[in-house]
Amino acid sequence: MRNVRPPAVAGMFYPAQAAVLRQTLDACFAQAQAGETALRPKALVAPHAGYIYSGPVAASAYRLLEPWADNIRRVVLLGPVHRVWVPGLALPGADAFETPLGQVPVDHEAIRAIADLPQVTLSPAAHDQEHSLEVHLPFLQRVLGDFSLVPLAVGGAAASAVAQVLDRLWGGAETLIVVSSDLSHYLPYHTAADQDRQTARAILRLDDHLQGEQACGAAPLNGLLLAARQRGLGAHLLDLRNSGDTAGDRQRVVGYGAFAFTEVGHA
């Protein structure tokens, strides 16, 4: 029997009806930052809050994929755990992930390539209610159409452990890496904006020593930054906003950043 991980936060973080979800995604792309469009990303960093808050920032990253959509067949998606702690990086034990836009098959061939690594574990519980991966899937479905997924929920993992997994899965133009992360949490607007600018500068330097108060996805993000430095990738800031810019008040905001990482010759 096919084991499908159903949507856990449809109707909360994003619309549960397919037609409304498509309209919401269109609105997010319309509100995305109109910056550099010629980049060919090997990896993206994008936020994972409710679409009303972080959707336009996420769209600032995903819009870069449109010219390359026909080439990308596999997405390695890493996000932090919020509900069930795991050591290392956890796989879901599922055959597919479902959203209102349809099912995305899990890439079992890719998973076999990392199954022997001690930091890679199996934890359906870590994935069952986790939103940090799920909220990216409708964006990917809209832009890429058909693709396979390597979903990794990241808990206690050093940058080197994450980078080792990424190295196994790196592939070529057919493989895209996406790291899910918000930035600062619940600071006043101007304090958050200052802290997020400092964090963005660290990311652009490929500094893999981010802390949780800088980015809730610090563990997978540090691994990507280490891998990017080892492989000579360039980092590009696409968008930097917070919930005070998109929706909500400015007393306690959450920061969001969108970044692209390009290989030599593809910047």
pLDDT greater than 80 at residue 176? yes
Average of per-residue pLDDT across 209-219: 97
Per-chain mean pLDDT for the chain: 96
Cα distances (Å, whole numbers) of residue 3 to 22, 25, 96, 97? 26, 27, 7, 9
Three-class SS of residue 168? helix
What would the two tokens of residue 72 be? 């990308």
| pLDDT tens-place string over residues 102-139 | 999 999 999 999 999 999 999 999 999 999 999 999 99
| pLDDT tens-place string over residues 138-147 | 999 999 989 9
* Angle of helix 159-169 versus helix 218-230 axis, rounded to 10: 60
Q: What is the pLDDT of residue 36?
A: 67
Q: What is the pLDDT of residue 28?
A: 98
Q: What is the pLDDT of residue 265?
A: 66
Q: What is the pLDDT of residue 34?
A: 74
CA distance 212 to 80: 10
pLDDT greater than 90 at residue 38? no
| pLDDT tens-place string over residues 186-206 | 999 999 999 999 999 999 999
CA angle 12, 178, 94 (to 5 degrees): 65
User: pTM score, two decimals?
Assistant: 0.97
Q: Which domains, and CATH codes, for the chain? A: 4-262 (3.40.830.10)
CA distance 240 to 267: 20
